[in-house]
Amino acid sequence: MMEAPPQLTRVQQIQRLILRWLIGSLAIFAAIYVVPGIYFSGPGWQIGIVALIFGLINALVRPLLLFITCPLVILTLGMFSLILNALLLGMTSALAQSLGINFTVDGFWAAFFGGLVISIVSIALQALAGDTPVRIQVWRGNGPDQQGPRS
């Protein structure tokens, strides 16, 4: 039986939001560093603004895109979501440039691999930071709901 996660206080919610924003900033920085075709120039704090834009687009647009493309996502066993990540990263680049931030994604493949790098780095950093609760259970014998062998 699953236990309900404990309710977070307002301070803990804000800390978690800031942690996710910092993780997003570091993931975008990693994509800029690793993926050819993703460029950024400007003061470092603007990467934080790009991460904020990317987070807002993911929160507002991604659910709608997943709903619209649900048959494709199911048909491709979730691989189409990588294409959606590329589209969202391209949208982030366009919105950031319209705000005067020099963040550029050159083409589909740069956006595709950038989205992949951002996803991998975000997952790894969230696991290391303890942001995502992980519960490991080890059962020995027949499992938690069985009594064992009967005599």
Ranges in the chain, pLDDT < 50: none
DSSP reduced 3-state for 6: coil
Cβ distance 32 to 121 under 8 Å? no
Q: Provide DSSP, 78-146.
A: TTHHHHHHHHHHHHHHHHHHHTT-EEEE-HHHHHHHHHHHHHHHHHHHHHHHT-S--------SS-TT-
The token pair that represents 121 in the structure block: 């780095």
pTM: 0.79
Bridge partners (DSSP) of residue 40 are 103
For the stretch 102-128, pLDDT in tens is 999 999 999 999 999 999 999 899 888
DSSP reduced 3-state for 39: strand
The token pair that represents 95 in the structure block: 């919105």
